[in-house]
Amino acid sequence: MDEKIKEEASKDNYRQEPKVGVYICHCGGNISDVVDVKKVAEELSKYPGVTVAREYPFMCSSNGQDLITEDIKNLGINRTVVAACSPSLHDLTFRGVLQRAGVNPYLHEHVNIREQDSWVHKLDHAGATAKAIKLAQAGVEKVRRKDPLNAIRVAAEQRVAVIGGGVSGMRAALSAAGKGLEAVILEKGPRLGGKLLDLGRLYPSGEEASAVVKKLEDLVRADKKITVHTDADIDFVGGFVGNFKINFKLPGGKSQQVKAGAIVMATGYEHYKPYKGEFGYGEAANVLTLPEFISLMKKLPAGRLEYGGREIKSLALIHCVGSRQVEGVHKPQADGKINDYCSRVCCTAAINTANQIKEKYPGVRIYDVYRDIRTYGMMHESYYEQASKNGVLFFRHTETDQPVVTSDRTGHNVKVKDVLTWGEELEFKADLVVLVTGLVPSDISLIKSQMKMPSSADRFLQEVHLKLRPVELANAGIFIAGAAQYPMDSTEAMASAGTAASKAGILLAEPDIPLEPFVAVVDEKKCTGCGLCPAECSYDGALTMSEKNGKKVAVVNPALCKGCGACVAVCEPRAIDVAGWTLAQFDAMVEAIAKE
Ligand SMILES: Cc1cc2nc3c(=O)[nH]c(=O)nc-3n(C[C@H](O)[C@H](O)[C@H](O)COP(=O)(O)OP(=O)(O)OC[C@H]3O[C@@H](n4cnc5c(N)ncnc54)[C@H](O)[C@@H]3O)c2cc1C
C-alpha cells in the first residue's frame, strides 16, 4: 500500500463507528500464571463497543501481531486495546501494527496487566483477574474516545553540539561526522583530551594516554565536518529538540552561538578533592591523590622514586577516598550528602599504577589498604594477580574501621584493623601516602538548571532507562556520553559516546523530527485568559499568553510542551486538554473501573 492510500485508509477508519479489538497477552506465563486470561477475553468480548477479544501467548511476537493485522483486515477493527506488559516496552510495537495496516497509530491503547497486576498480585489470582478485566474495560472506554493524531514535525538543524572535549566528546563528534552530520565540540579547557591528558599508561590497552588523545585529536582536527572551540565558556543553553541554541564566549572574543539539532553531554567528571586533613591531605607533606601521583610519575625518570626532595622507599595506597562513603563515618559533601556510590575505575587504576611503580622502581615497598577490591571488566583481575606476584602487600579493613594515618617529619604511620588477619591491628611506615580518590560529577549546574536536566541520586546526569534508553536524557534530543553519566573507564566512555552519536544520528536522519502529539491543546473559546497555566508550566516557552482576535488566550508551543498536564490541573473552565489523554477519556476510564 502506498503512503497516500495508507492516509486515506486511516481517515476512513476514523469516520467509521469505533470497532474495538481487545488482545490479552499471556506474556509466556508472566501474566497467565496469575491472571485467568481466557476469562478476561471472554468478559471483554461481551463489553459494549468490542468487536473481538482474544488471548495469545506472546502478543508482541510476529504471530501475535499478525492476529491483529488480520482482524483489522477481516473484521474492520479500527481501534485496539492490548493488555500486556508496560507500555514503555511495547506501546510503539502495537502502534506500528496499526500504522502498517492503515489505521491511525494513535487509535491504540496499551493496558499494563503485568507490572501493575500479575506481578504485584501473585497470590491473589481471582483479584488479579478481576483487576485485569477492569483495566482492559477502562482501556476500551478510553480508546473509543480517542481521536486520530498526527506526529508533530519539527524542522531540525543538521548539527550536533558536543559539550566537553574529553575522549568521549571527541569520539561522539567523530561518530556524528561519520554519519554525515556537522559536529561542534565546545570544550571549556584549553586542550582536547579531558582527564586523559594527565594520565599515564592506561589499562586495559597498555597504551599511553597521551597517544590515545593524540590519535583521536588528529582525527578530529582532520575532519572537515567537525569544528572545535577550546576555552569555550558556555553561558546559555536553550531551545528544544531539533533547535537548540548554545551561547558561549571565547577568551577576549564576543559571544558566539551554535545552533544544533541535538546535544551530546560529554562533560565527564572531576576528581574527588580530599578535605584538609583527610588522611593528612593538605596538612602533612607527602600525601597525594592518585591522579596527582600518576601525573607526577609520568615526569620522573626510572630507577629512583623521589618526591619532596627525598627518596620514596615505601608507599601506601588508600582506596575509596571520597567513594563508598558511610553515613556517620564520613564527612558529608557541600550539599550535605555523602558519596555512597563506587567510583568503579579507581581500584583497577590504583593496582595498574602499583604494577607500574614496581616496574619503574622495583625497590619501592607498596602497601595497598582497601575495603573491597573491584577490578571489574574483562581480564582486569589479572592486574590484581600481577600486583600480588609483584609483592604488593594488601590490607583489608571494614566500612566502619577506617585506616588511620598519622604523620611526622620522618614520614607516615598507617594503622589498619586488618580483616585478612582476623581483625589484627597492623601498623606500618610509609614515605608517601597516595589517596585513591573517587570520581565526582563535573559542575555543570548552569547548563543543568537551564535545560532542567535530571540528575541521579549520585548527582551525575541520569538516563531515561539504564537498559531501554541508556544514553538518552529525558530532555528530547539530548544524549549523554562517557563519565558525565557515571564513573567509567575510557573504553566504556568511548563506547557510550558512540551510542550517543548514533542516537543523535537517528534523530537527525531526516530534515524534520517527528515528535509525539501528546501535548496540551487549548480550546480558545473556553479560555478566559486568566494566565494561571503559564505560571504552572515547568517548560520555558511551552505555554504563553497571547492576543488572538482581540482576546488574551493561552498558546502552546507543541515542540516544547511535554504533555505533563500541569496546566490542565489549574484550568478551571477546563479549556485545556492533553491530546491523547483528555479529561473526558479519564472520566470514562474512572467510571468503567468504579462501576459495580
Ligand atoms: C586515577 C584515574 C586513573 C584512570 N586510569 C584509567 C585507565 O588506565 N584506563 C582507562 O580506560 N580509564 C582510566 N580512567 C578513567 C578515565 O579518566 C575516564 O574514563 C575518561 O576520562 C572519561 O572521559 P570523558 O571524556 O567522559 O570525561 P573527561 O575526561 O572528564 O572529559 C570531560 C571534558 O568535558 C569538559 N567539560 C566539563 N564541563 C564542561 C562545560 N560546562 N563546558 C565545556 N566543557 C566541559 C572537561 O573540561 C573535560 O575536558 C582513570 C580515572 C582515574 C580517576
- Return the residue whose CA atom lies nearest to atom 15 of ligand 1: 489
Q: Which helix (H) or strand (E) holds 111?
A: strand 108-112
Are 451 and 436 within one domain?
no
Are 119 and 193 within one domain?
no
**Domain interval for residue 43:** 3-151
Pocket test for ligand 1, best of 171, 175, 185, 196 (most atoms within 8 A of CB): 196
Is the CB–ligand 1 distance for residue 187 below 6 Å? yes
Atom of ligand 1 nearest to the CA of 204: 9
Is the CB–ligand 1 distance for residue 228 below 6 Å? no
In order along its 596 residues, the chain shows pLDDT tens digits of 334 334 444 444 455 689 999 999 999 999 999 999 999 999 999 999 999 999 999 999 999 999 999 999 999 999 999 999 999 889 999 999 999 999 999 999 999 999 999 999 999 999 999 999 999 999 999 999 999 999 999 999 999 999 999 999 999 999 999 999 999 999 999 999 999 999 999 999 999 999 999 999 999 999 999 999 999 999 999 998 999 999 999 999 989 999 999 999 999 999 999 999 999 999 999 999 999 999 999 999 999 999 988 999 999 999 999 999 999 999 999 899 999 999 999 999 999 999 999 999 999 999 999 999 999 998 899 999 999 999 999 999 999 999 999 999 899 999 999 999 999 999 999 999 999 999 999 999 999 999 989 999 999 999 998 888 999 998 889 999 999 999 999 999 999 999 999 999 999 999 999 889 999 999 999 999 999 999 999 888 899 999 998 999 999 999 889 899 999 999 999 999 999 999 999 999 999 999 98
The pTM score is 0.84
Per DSSP (E only), the strands in 397-480 are 404-408, 411-418, 424-430, 432-437, 439-441, 478-480
Within 10 angstroms of residue 511's Cβ, the number of other Cβ atoms is 12
Within 10 angstroms of residue 24's Cβ, the number of other Cβ atoms is 30
* Distance (Å) from CA 483 to ligand 1 centroid: 6
pLDDT at 6: 41
Strands across the sheet containing 393-396: 287-289, 432-437, 314-321, 365-370, 393-396
pLDDT at 15: 57
Are 332 and 214 within one domain?
no
Q: In this structure, is residue 584 part of a structural domain?
A: no
Are 280 and 415 within one domain?
yes
Is the CB–ligand 1 distance for residue 349 below 6 Å? yes
CA distance 133 to 535: 40
Q: In this structure, is residue 589 part of a structural domain?
A: no
Q: Could you tell me if residue 21 is left (phi over 0), alpha (psi between -120 and 50 degrees) or otherwise beta? A: beta
* Distance (Å) from CA 488 to ligand 1 centroid: 9
Residue 13's CATH number: 3.40.50
Half-sphere exposure for 579 (CA within 13 Å, toward CB): 21
* Distance (Å) from CA 333 to ligand 1 centroid: 21
Are 447 and 366 within one domain?
no
Is the CB–ligand 1 distance for residue 153 below 6 Å? no
* Distance (Å) from CA 169 to ligand 1 centroid: 10
Closest CA to 355 of 383, 393, 333, 379: 383
Quote the cell numbers at residue 592: 468503567
Are 555 and 446 within one domain?
no
Is the CB–ligand 1 distance for residue 438 below 6 Å? no
Burial zone of 547 (CB within 10 Å; 0-12 exposed, 13-18 middle, 19+ buried): exposed
Name residue 190's beta-bridge partners. none
Pocket test for ligand 1, best of 318, 345, 453, 485 (most atoms within 8 A of CB): 345
Q: How far is C-alpha 594 from the geometric centre of its chain's CA atoms?
A: 38
* Distance (Å) from CA 252 to ligand 1 centroid: 27
Burial zone of 29 (CB within 10 Å; 0-12 exposed, 13-18 middle, 19+ buried): exposed
Are 194 and 305 within one domain?
no
CA distance 310 to 541: 62
* Distance (Å) from CA 260 to ligand 1 centroid: 24
Q: Under a CB-based contact definition with an 8 Å cutoff, are residues 556 and 571 in contact?
A: no
Quote the cell numbers at residue 224: 572537515
Q: How far is CA 338 from CA 101, 279, 395, 402, in A?
A: 54, 17, 24, 16
CA distance 197 to 214: 10
* Distance (Å) from CA 198 to ligand 1 centroid: 10
CA distance 444 to 246: 14
Task: Kindly tell me the sign of the dihedral angle through the C-alpha atoms of 203, 209, 212, 216.
Answer: positive
Q: In this structure, is residue 590 part of a structural domain?
A: no
* Distance (Å) from CA 323 to ligand 1 centroid: 17
Q: In this structure, is residue 245 part of a structural domain?
A: yes
- Return the residue whose CA atom lies nearest to atom 38 of ligand 1: 267
Q: How far is CA 275 from CA 99, 116, 279, 331, 334, in A?
A: 59, 47, 9, 9, 11
Is the CB–ligand 1 distance for residue 541 below 6 Å? no
Residue 420's CATH number: 3.50.50.60
Quote the cell numbers at residue 33: 500464571
pLDDT at 3: 40
* Distance (Å) from CA 242 to ligand 1 centroid: 28
Q: In this structure, is residue 184 part of a structural domain?
A: yes
Strand 159-163, strand 226-229: pairing:
unpaired
Q: In this structure, is residue 81 part of a structural domain?
A: yes
Pocket test for ligand 1, best of 321, 489, 494 (most atoms within 8 A of CB): 489
Atom of ligand 1 nearest to the CA of 233: 42
* Distance (Å) from CA 247 to ligand 1 centroid: 23
Are 25 and 62 within one domain?
yes
Is the CB–ligand 1 distance for residue 487 below 6 Å? no
DSSP 179-203: TT-EEEEE-SSSSSBGGGGG--BPT
Query: Of 440, 474, 495, which residue sits at a domain end?
Result: 440
pLDDT at 227: 98
Phi and psi, residue 205, nearest 5°? -80, -25
How many structural domains is the chain composed of?
4
Are 404 and 543 within one domain?
no
Q: In this structure, is residue 585 part of a structural domain?
A: no
Query: Of 478, 495, 513, which residue sits at a domain end?
Result: 513
SS3 (DSSP) at 327:
coil
Residue 548's CATH number: 3.30.70.20
* Distance (Å) from CA 166 to ligand 1 centroid: 6
Is the CB–ligand 1 distance for residue 497 below 6 Å? no
Q: In this structure, is residue 586 part of a structural domain?
A: no
Is the CB–ligand 1 distance for residue 444 below 6 Å? yes
Are 105 and 146 within one domain?
yes
* Distance (Å) from CA 489 to ligand 1 centroid: 8
Are 292 and 364 within one domain?
yes
Is the CB–ligand 1 distance for residue 195 below 6 Å? yes
CA angle, residues 204, 207, 209, in degrees to nearest 5: 100
Q: Which alpha helices (DSSP H) does 153-289 contain, by range? A: 167-178, 209-222
Atom of ligand 1 nearest to the CA of 491: 11
* Distance (Å) from CA 262 to ligand 1 centroid: 22
Query: Of 386, 420, 440, which residue sits at a domain end?
Result: 440
* Distance (Å) from CA 482 to ligand 1 centroid: 8
Are 15 and 145 within one domain?
yes
Contacting residues for 63 by C-beta, under 8 A, at least 6 apart = 56
